[in-house]
Amino acid sequence: MVSDKRSKQKSKYTLDRQIPGAFEGETVTRRRFMTGTAHTAGAIAASAFALPALGFAIGPIFKSTPAHWEPVGPEGMFSDTNYVPVVMTVAPSIGEAGKTTVYVRKFNPEIDTDPYDKDTPYIAISSRCAHLGCPVRWVDAAERFICPCHGGVYDLLGRRVGGPPVRPLDRFYTRIKAGSVEVGPRFSVNSELRRFSPRDPGEPVDGIGQYLYPSRPGAQKL
């Protein structure tokens, strides 16, 4: 039985298999050789396009962005009942386009009851609407942040109370250094003001949204 099975196995030599144009001792057909060569060349050509694109996509994950802190005024400039607009640089490398307006007030234990805010001396809220990124304006009389573009409305703490925004306004870390208030990296918050790494406008961080829109590579963190 064993000898019958072996006899049925094809010889590895092309001449024994009566392949036209075969040479004695040849084990690989020229057709197979050319096919393998073509596949190898195709794989090399595909890698020439795929590898740079892959490096561009995942490279920022391994790039550490230093935290940027900027003084925005002395401590006495800010109260704990109203916001003061200040202009700061969030992207130093792009000139005037890297500046933005931030609304700052002193931490108020009667207003800022959320446990996530107890470690920050000042509350700094972004003027960038969480819908499409339009600039919002603080209206003191209404105690609301209002976006004139699409009707987004936020309360005193920056939480959405009306319109299409998908999350509260972003915030910034703050600290006091040599009597001056400094504003640092931006972070996003959900409806409970829980902190998340910064997201782009239109990206929710509540529920499944925090997984559908993960942290951007290279985002500033503390």
Domains of the chain with CATH codes? 1-63 (no CATH), 70-212 (2.102.10.10)
**Tens of pLDDT, residues 42-95:** 888 887 777 776 665 565 555 556 778 999 999 989 998 899 999 998 877 777
* Token pair in block for residue 178: 């040599």
- Radius of gyration over alpha carbons of the chain, in Å? 31
Residue 114 CA neighbour count, 13 Å, CB half: 15
* 169 — pLDDT class (breaks 50, 70, 90): very high
pLDDT exceeds 70 at position 156: yes
Residues 13-41: what's their mean pLDDT?
A: 66
CB neighbours of 173 closer than 8 A, spacing ≥ 6? Answer: 120, 124, 183, 184, 185, 187, 222
